[in-house]
């Protein structure tokens, strides 16, 4: 643990953390949509298995990340995949390594569960710092077409060797994330 992440604890978010989680989402994005998305995903049986992690700085909840189940249609076999959406850190706690720590911890746990591919639609300058690469050049399509100017925002990370480039198909997310409006130009679920 380096100086920036001292005092940082990451643990699974439970039912008792619901208010803290939704508060983080609302305040990080400064709008209600992502908190509503999280509430919907937490109630969506097609999003299971889910991984919902809370970051606490000196005991105070400051960050949240959610991964939900996805499938890869057309891959020729069942592929265990997940979508990262959303990731949020309270403005006052940003820039201290919290977002990165949530991503790393999430990927570690998903890998232990046998998840092969993790997808995200998000900031193309942020997620590559944590191992994500553009998904379309690998033949991995988003649930709805991404406008060409945002192609780089659709990213993937392989948690197993030899799957990138071998598996191709279209990602089928939980029902909540399949809503076309979430995949339009000005709306990014992560």
Containing 123, the helix (H) or strand (E) segment is none
Peptide bond into 86 cis (omega under 30): yes
User: In the bound complex, which residue of the shown chain has the CB atom lying closest to ligand COA?
Assistant: 99
Answer for the pair 83, 50: CB distance below 8 angstroms, yes or no: no
The answer to whether the CB of 171 falls within 8 A of the CB of 81 is yes
Among 13, 22, 98, 142, binds ligand COA (CB under 6 A): 98
The one among 21, 56, 82, 88 contacting ligand COA by CB under 6 A: 88
**If binding is defined by CB under 6 A, does position 147 make contact with ligand COA?**
no
User: In the bound complex, what is the minimum distance in angstroms from residue 179's beta carbon to ligand COA?
Assistant: 18
Q: Which of residues 106-135 bind ligand COA (CB under 6 A)?
A: 122-123, 125-126
Q: Which stretch binds ligand COA (CB under 6 A): 39-47, 81-89, 144-152, 169-177?
A: 81-89
Rounded CA-CA distance 67/37 in Å is 12
Q: Which two tokens stand for residue 157?
A: 């990370």
The distance in angstroms from the start CA to the end CA of the chain is 26
Tokens linked to 146? 């991404």
Task: Reduce the DSSP state of residue 182 to 3 states and report it.
Answer: helix
* Tokens (6 digits) for 101: 């720590």
150 binding ligand COA? (CB under 6 A): no
Considering only the stretches 43-51, 67-75, 91-99, 144-152, report the one whose residues sit in contact with ligand COA under the rule CB under 6 A. Answer: 91-99
Quote the least distance from Cβ 55 to ligand COA, whole Å: 8
Q: Minimum Å distance from CB 104 to ligand COA?
A: 9
Element (H, E) at 107: helix 98-112
Given the complex with ligand COA, which of 65 and 110 has the nearer CB atom? Answer: 65
For ligand COA, the binding residues (CB under 6 A) are: 28-29, 86-89, 94-100, 122-123, 125-126, 190
């Amino acid at each position: 643990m380096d100086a920036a992440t001292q005092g940082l604890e990451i643990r699974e978010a439970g039912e008792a953390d619901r208010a803290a989680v939704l508060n983080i989402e609302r305040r990080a994005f400064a709008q209600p949509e992502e908190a509503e998305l999280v509430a919907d995903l937490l109630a969506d049986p097609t999003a299971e298995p889910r991984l919902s992690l809370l970051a606490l700085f000196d005991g105070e909840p400051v960050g949240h990340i959610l991964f939900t189940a996805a499938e890869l249609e057309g891959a020729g076999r069942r592929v265990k995949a997940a979508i990262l959406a959303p990731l949020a850190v309270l403005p006052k706690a940003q820039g201290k390594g919290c977002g990165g720590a949530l991503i790393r911890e999430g990927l570690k746990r998903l890998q232990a569960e046998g998840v092969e591919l993790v997808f995200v639609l998000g900031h193309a300058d942020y997620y590559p710092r944590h191992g994500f690469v553009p998904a379309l050049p690998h033949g991995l399509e988003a649930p709805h077409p991404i406008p060409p100017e945002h192609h780089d925002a659709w990213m993937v990370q392989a948690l197993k060797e030899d799957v990138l480039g071998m598996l191709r198909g279209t990602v089928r997310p939980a029902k909540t994330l399949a809503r076309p409006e979430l995949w339009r130009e000005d709306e990014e679920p992560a």
